[in-house]
Chain A
Amino acid sequence: MSPLIEIENLSKIYDNGHVALDRVSLDIKEGELIALLGPNGAGKTTLISIICGLVRPSSGHVTVAGHDIIEDYLHTRKLIGLVPQELPIEPFESVIKSVSFSRGLFGKPADPDYIEKLLADLSLSDKKLSQIKSLSGGMKRRLLIAKALSHEPRILFLDEPTAGVDVNLRMEMWDLIHQLKESGVTVILTTHYIEEAEEMADRVAVINNGTIIVVERKADLMRKMGKKQMYLELQSPIATIPEQLRPYDLRIQDNGQVLLYNYETRKERTGITSLLKDLSTVGIGFKDLRTEQSSLEDIFIDLVEERIDVLERAERSMALDLSES
């Protein structure tokens, strides 16, 4: 099955020269929930704004369900719902009129039953006749989701759905997004909260400085990039690491009470068995053992920093080249 959204070499350079996207390519499959993870200013919003038609691409192509987003925009936009990051609202309009307006705007005939059901699903039924300005922040966000879903789109873009939202509301939002995914909608969400991507996404695309650094199934990403740490609580403290154990990446913690072993899960051999064997050979006993896995957050920081390292090195070598020539 061909992907629902195909992004090919997409670049965006703003008039002020800022490169927001640099040859981004990404395929998104029908029914998946993909998280675009990256720091503020990484290019996430620009990417989805281009697909939705709010920003013109400088070069590259995007197709949605096989149709080009520029030539066939009348076709592609029908399939897409967008929940923007800010909360733009028409303050004096009523909730139900606002949602009905969105449905009409996207070319669908009026369907009061569907709108009522949608408002009920988003717990907005008792507010349907209220003016939008009287809604709380969480309700406004749910209203924008209702507006985005009003024309029954196959694809939903959520730009930072939980930015500036309290913990309870965030949980609520996560539940809601899970339900949407269950109902078959393809969800693309941007976030700079790693736990959000970790909680929800099937796949994670890490984006920084306008390029996608890595796209992986979340589980694969964690397995591939994940480091694990094993903590050994020793029976009696040690001051130095014995010669025989030097090949292992070991560190002494808590005044010699704890021995910390770093290993990478992506390696075929983690070295745990031989480490434990060598420990008993040198006569170090332990009373307890626990392991910890690095979170997506650690992986993310590693990736972004690695990227910066590479760039810095490239810059330095360029500077060298220049000074030499």
Chain B
Amino acid sequence: MNLNGVKAIYVHEMDRARRTIFQSLVSPVISTSLYFVVFGSAIGSRITEIDGVSYGSFIVPGLIMLTMMTQSVTYASFGIFFPRFTGTIYEVLSAPISHIEIVIGYVGAAVTKSLIVGLVILSTAGLFVPIQIAHVEWMVLFLLLTSITFSLFGFLIGIWADTFERLQIIPLLVVTPLVFLGGSFYSVDMLPELWQKITYFNPVLYLVSGFRWSFYEISDVSVMISLAMIAIFLLICITLTWWIFKTGYKLKE
């Protein structure tokens, strides 16, 4: 096992985050704070409690999920796309390092970054609204699984994309709508019946629901279904990643 190689990629990626600290950390925190101001204080004060939880507190898990999902995808996709774009990927591809090790290096760094962002947002949210965490171990599990899954998904996008435009298009057209419509800001039963049915096809719903359950023990679907859904999504991403390295898709001729 080339541990030095994994470490080199990981440190290199974390270094990039340090160089771009504003983009990496400050901007998600600022935008999340804006959500709290708008939804939590301004609008939220006019919304009644949902299942006994004030609206401001209700949206905290969803906001953390929303930011972590989009940031995981961004970090991981950019991390692998950028060396492909500059051509420096040649070094990684010619190094004595296995495919799994390459993925651990890049995805590990993206997971770390999005976990940091998630925890920073959690503590920022604590400044605005009261928060209680009923099941810390479940919260950590959901945080980990979500950031690993979406980082892997981002890694795949970063390999698939040939241009900066393509790099943005999936997060913009797929991830963001799914995340917004996945119950981050509302409970599913607040929707009309037709939309409720449609929402159950949105995988993000299950993640947000399970994550929220770990905070307030309220959920749209059972926590086990949530867990099963994220496991399925994770398996799909792992399979696709394995296929990419096996075939050399967009990496080797």
Contact = CB atoms under 8 A, between A and B. Distances in A.
Interface of A: 14-15, 52-56, 73-78, 80, 82, 84, 86, 88-93, 97, 100-110, 147
| 4 interchain residue pairs of minimum CB distance | A104-B8, A88-B87, A77-B96, A52-B94
B90 interface: yes
A75 B87 contact: no
A56 B88 contact: no
Contacts of A78: 96
Between B89, B95, B98, the greatest number of chain A beta carbons within 10 A of the residue's beta carbon is seen for B95
Contacts of A89: 86, 88
Given A86-B87, A101-B12, A108 B4 contact: yes
Contact of A74 (B11, B12, B92, B98): B98
A78 B95 CA distance: 7
Nearest to B95: A105
Contacts of B8: 100-105
A77 B94 contact: yes
A54 B88 contact: no
B96 A147 contact: no
Contacts of B4: 103-105, 107-110
Contacts of B93: 53-54
Given A89-B86, A90-B83, A104-B7, A80 B2 contact: no
A92 B96 CA distance: 25
Given A53-B93, A75-B96, A76-B96, 11 more contacts: A15-B253, A54-B90, A56-B248, A73-B96, A80-B94, A88-B87, A101-B12, A102-B91, A105-B4, A105-B8, A107-B96
B253 A55 contact: yes
Interface of B: 2, 4-5, 7-9, 11-12, 15-16, 19, 82-83, 86-98, 248, 252-253
A54 B95 CA distance: 10
A90 B9 CA distance: 13
Contacts of A82: 90-91, 94
A105 B12 CA distance: 10
B253 A14 contact: yes
A76 B12 CA distance: 24
A97 B16 CA distance: 11
Contacts of B88: 88-90
B94 A54 contact: yes
Contacts of B98: 74
Contacts of B90: 54, 82, 84, 88
Nearest to A12: B253
A91 B20 CA distance: 13
Contacts of B96: 73-78, 106-107
Between A15, A73, A147, the greatest number of chain B beta carbons within 10 A of the residue's beta carbon is seen for A73
A56 B252 contact: yes
Nearest to B88: A88
B94 A91 contact: no
Contacts of A107: 2, 4-5, 95-97
7 contacts: A54-B94, A54-B253, A56-B253, A82-B90, A90-B83, A101-B8, A105-B91
A89 B253 CA distance: 21
A48 B83 CA distance: 20
A54 B93 CA distance: 6
Given A88-B87, A88-B90, A101-B8, A106 B253 contact: no
Contacts of A80: 94
A109 B3 CA distance: 9
Nearest to B83: A90
Given A15-B253, A82-B90, A82-B94, A104 B5 contact: yes
Given A101-B12, A104-B7, A104-B8, A90 B86 contact: yes
Contacts of A91: 86
B86 A88 contact: yes
Given A54-B252, A78-B96, A105 B9 contact: yes
A53 B94 contact: yes
Contacts of A104: 4-5, 7-8, 11
Contact of A105 (B5, B19, B82, B248): B5
Contacts of B82: 90
B253 A77 contact: no
B182 to A, nearest CB: 35
B87 A74 contact: no
Between B8, B19, B82, the greatest number of chain A beta carbons within 10 A of the residue's beta carbon is seen for B8
A82 B95 CA distance: 10
Contacts of A76: 96
Contacts of A77: 94-96
Nearest to B12: A101
A157 to B, nearest CB: 9
Nearest to B6: A104
B206 to A, nearest CB: 38
A73 B86 CA distance: 24
A77 to B, nearest CB: 4
B92 A105 contact: yes
A171 B99 CA distance: 40
B248 to A, nearest CB: 6
Contacts of B9: 105
A101 B252 CA distance: 22
